[in-house]
């Protein structure tokens, strides 16, 4: 979702992953519960051609539900889930 007003822009992103997995332990496939991540970004466009952005990825610091038996499977968990938790940021860019 995007909202713009004069020199301000706000972006809200919702990512959802349905539950999946449940394969046998021998194959290394675990069970993963439903996961929802919210990101928020606010950008201010400066009068001199710059942009200041701030926000956070995984705003609510959600952790994925990972199968207690199979545990963390690197080939599944890292590409799909934000294993770093909440990540705040501040950036500046300038157009010449």
Cα separation, 52 vs 92, in Å, equals 5
Tens-digit pLDDT profile for residues 63-93: 877 666 556 666 667 777 777 889 999 999 9
Question: What mean pLDDT value characterizes the chain?
Answer: 84
Contact 34, 19 (CB under 8 A): yes
Mean pLDDT of 43-55: 96
Query: What pTM value is reported for the model?
Result: 0.75
Bigger pLDDT: 26 vs 5: 5
């Amino acid at each position: 979702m995007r909202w713009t007003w004069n020199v301000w822009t706000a972006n809200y992103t919702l990512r959802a992953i349905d539950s999946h997995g449940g394969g046998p332990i021998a194959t290394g496939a675990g069970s993963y519960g439903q996961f929802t991540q919210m990101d928020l970004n606010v950008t201010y466009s400066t009068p001199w051609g710059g942009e200041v952005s701030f926000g956070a990825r995984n705003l609510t610091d959600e952790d994925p539900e990972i199968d207690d038996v199979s545990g963390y499977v690197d080939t599944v968990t890292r590409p799909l889930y934000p294993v770093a938790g909440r990540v705040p940021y501040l950036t500046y860019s300038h157009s010449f």
